[in-house]
Amino acid sequence: VERIAPHLIGMMLSTTINGVTTSGIIREVEAYSFKERGCHAYNKKHTPRTSNMFEEGGCLYVYLIYGIYPMLNLVTGPKDWPEAVLIRSIEPVEGITSQLKRRGKDQFHAKEFSGPGKVAQALGIRTKYNGLLLNKDLIELQIGESVRPLIKGPRIGIDYAGQDALLPWRWADAQSDFVSHRKGLV
């Protein structure tokens, strides 16, 4: 997952829900693996919530955080190798008006799409989409390669992970304004 996560930066992610297509370029991600304590499936812990992380890459892992925000993750490993990438920010491309409406905003600002809860809201991601498949059900990822420079640093909000919280597993586009918590990235 630590190899795939940075490669997702620059790729286009889109959803088509009730005929409305919204898309954006991925600008910030974090990697999570069963090998470290920041991951819900640490040590291959299999619970109802984590079960989709054990599926083959291309599966969505969506869960609710703080009772409020869905988090969108892309599962990356082979079966029974629980790893996933959290999509932390996008730069909207298609359906910007729809994305702003879902966010409850009427002014376009980079900060409205920088943060994992904001991304999920803008793309219309709901927890019931947990387990859907990329490029098959509502959500599409266009494979591509970016040549733009990246910056990286520790992940956000996982202090409970001890030393694993220090892993530099958050990546972002160095030239983009669509990045949350730029502090800590080099």
Partner DNA sequence: GCAATGATTTACT
Partner DNA sequence: GTAAATCATTGCC
- For DNA, the binding residues (CB under 7 A) are 30, 32, 38-41, 45, 47-50, 53, 61, 63-69, 71, 73, 84, 86, 103, 115-119, 127, 155-158, 160, 180
Which residue, 41 or 59, is less far from DNA as judged by CB? 41
Is the four-CA dihedral 71, 159, 36, 88 of positive or negative sign?
positive
Name the percent of the chain in helix, strand, coil, to the closest 5: 25, 30, 45
CB of 59 to DNA, least distance (A): 13
**Are the C-beta atoms of 65 and 72 separated by less than 8 Å?**
no
Q: How far is the CB of 29 from DNA (least distance, A)?
A: 9
At closest approach, how far in Å is the CB of 25 from DNA?
17
Q: Which of 17, 50, 13 is nearest to 134 (CA)?
A: 13
* Residue type at position 175: Q
Q: Which is nearer to DNA, 78 or 157 (CB)?
A: 157
User: Which amino acid is present at 119?
Assistant: V
In the bound state with DNA, the residue whose beta carbon lies nearer, of 68 and 147, is 68
